[in-house]
Chains A and B, each alone.
Chain A
């Protein structure tokens, strides 16, 4: 789960990490009042979860409160990459001496967390990685012992510091690591991480992504995780509320299957035979009749879906449960779109028998089913 910048910074402040003085505004007038309170020049930043807001015009500057109100009003009217801007963060403009990049990221390949740092900050780090890969310093962290003082000092040293400044930057890095542990963050990233003219280290921007698999032990994010993310379509939000992995696509073939890999391969196969998938929907391992019924209703409820392909290869899932789910939908609301079902694996015979009882013949092979679906015979 991605946190907004203002949420990330609020957590960081509680851990003693320097962030620019500022406040959050939902209206232009609030933005003006915050500027009045903090004084000086300010930066007005769109609070969105998508990356690239700067290039999209979501960051502006204000030298007077009235100017800040006008700029905030412009930003609050924006939609950035499909995400409506609802709030802006008003922050004191920093007197910057040096802009750096610092992040602590889950390193899947090495099964640990790794610090990525660079003295080239404030720009897209992928750009640095491709143009000046030697400018990115990596420090792997032991998963059991975590970030030790000398790990952090090594990073600060590679960023070009020594003496008291090295100690100050080390403290900040240690606190960013502490944040990643306390909140189970798969990413903590400050870009730019700024050294100010008066010699302080400040996280001018801060991004935190919480590991979704850890949300069960974070009651503090419970409400937040229920909020529909702006990156999610209403149909996706509805499906996800019901525990389905669901992605909406552009085509007209509704797809349901069990297992992410199988569903991806199903999309590929439908594509291969000339069909266009309308969605990715994984009911997951061990889905019961209710979950299958819910998924089918969500898929057939979408206007753009003309045909539906259910592809089940049962391991932990049971074919009879899947069949019962389809029967349930037929009984309760009816089957509204032509349906091709492919079934194999655990309790296959029973599943096939149940589907036969409502006049559906389950196919055994996925390529057969995909060909039938795209043959024009299913209309």
Chain B
């Protein structure tokens, strides 16, 4: 059993008939992900990339043995799409859609929690277990199987860093984006817990950015629990001026809060190796590995 997605995953694509939905259905299948059905209301009975399309998740469940969902529907409909997936017992539910109203996400996350479902996103590149399966929009070829778990607040920066790791011969167990929207299903602490309990993960990379307190909370957790696996991190946005929102809803420095330097300092204090530039991460991980061997 691998973390969140793997060979066992049989996914439904909600919003499969849209541009992105159909394009990435093809790429996910090319990567080896089992996509068993698509759902688009009003398009039941058709097919996309050879995948049968149903009008509702419930109808898809009658014909398939799906156990996960990936959502591409437009933001105004994303909350209900997520609830529909959770209601059918799909877990995890990966929400690619971005810019979902915060109130909708709040309600959806509370609903998912009550039903013990894990929501990845919204505004996430998704989850990949390299060599097995991906539920997401990441380019599969930059990832490689191995033992480093990667969690990120960003999409493309995750690919960037996975690529450096892969080039350096450092494979990844599972990589996921927690999502760039204001309210997300997972935070760094949730993911640190998952990686701690995951046998195939032996080290963790956190990719943070300015704004909010996700990195500080992760650092507190690492310190409080004497986190058993080595952690390395990069925090984007050192060059960002205060008061300017850098794309993501949360990526804004307010007052003295949320600066990259403060986050890097806090990480360093709790023993996390912090990279100055993303391309430095492989070296830090190799150093940590060497240090572990010497123990």
Q: What is A's interface to B at a CB cutoff of 8 Å? A: 106, 108-109, 111-113, 126, 142-144, 181, 184, 186, 211-214, 216-217, 245, 247, 249, 257-265, 267-272, 277, 280, 282, 285-286, 313-316, 344-346, 365-367
29 chain-A/chain-B pairs, Cβ below 8 angstroms: A111-B105, A112-B110, A113-B106, A126-B255, A143-B110, A181-B103, A184-B103, A186-B102, A213-B101, A213-B182, A216-B76, A217-B101, A249-B239, A259-B154, A260-B180, A260-B248, A260-B251, A261-B155, A264-B210, A265-B160, A267-B240, A269-B278, A271-B238, A280-B246, A285-B155, A313-B159, A346-B139, A365-B279, A366-B278
Least Cβ–Cβ distance between B226 and chain A, in angstroms: 22
What residues of B have a CB within 8 angstroms of the CB of A143 in the complex?
A: 103, 106-107, 109-110
What residues of A have a CB within 8 angstroms of the CB of B25 in the complex?
A: none
Measured CB to CB, the nearest residue on chain B to A316 is B137
What residues of B have a CB within 8 angstroms of the CB of A249 in the complex?
A: 239, 241
Does B239 contact A277, Cβ atoms closer than 8 Å? Answer: yes
What residues of B have a CB within 8 angstroms of the CB of A211 in the complex?
A: 101-103, 182
Query: On chain B, which size bracket covers the interface?
Result: 35 or more
Q: Contacts A214-B102, A262-B155, A264-B237 known; list 5 others, CB within 8 Å.
A: A106-B106, A262-B157, A315-B137, A316-B24, A344-B159
A13 to B181, CA, bound (A): 32
Least Cβ–Cβ distance between A123 and chain B, in angstroms: 15
What residues of B have a CB within 8 angstroms of the CB of A261 in the complex?
A: 152-158, 180, 207, 209, 236, 247-248
Does A344 contact B75, Cβ atoms closer than 8 Å? Answer: no
A144 to B114, CA, bound (A): 11
Measured CB to CB, the nearest residue on chain B to A247 is B244
Query: Contacts A211-B103, A213-B75 hold; do A262 and B237 have CB atoms under 8 A apart?
Result: no
Does B245 contact A247, Cβ atoms closer than 8 Å? Answer: yes
A181 to B181, CA, bound (A): 19
A197 to B153, CA, bound (A): 50
Residues 100-129 (chain B) with a chain A CB within 8 angstroms: 100-103, 105-107, 109-111, 125
What residues of B have a CB within 8 angstroms of the CB of A285 in the complex?
A: 98, 137, 155
Measured CB to CB, the nearest residue on chain A to B72 is A316
Does B181 contact A144, Cβ atoms closer than 8 Å? Answer: no
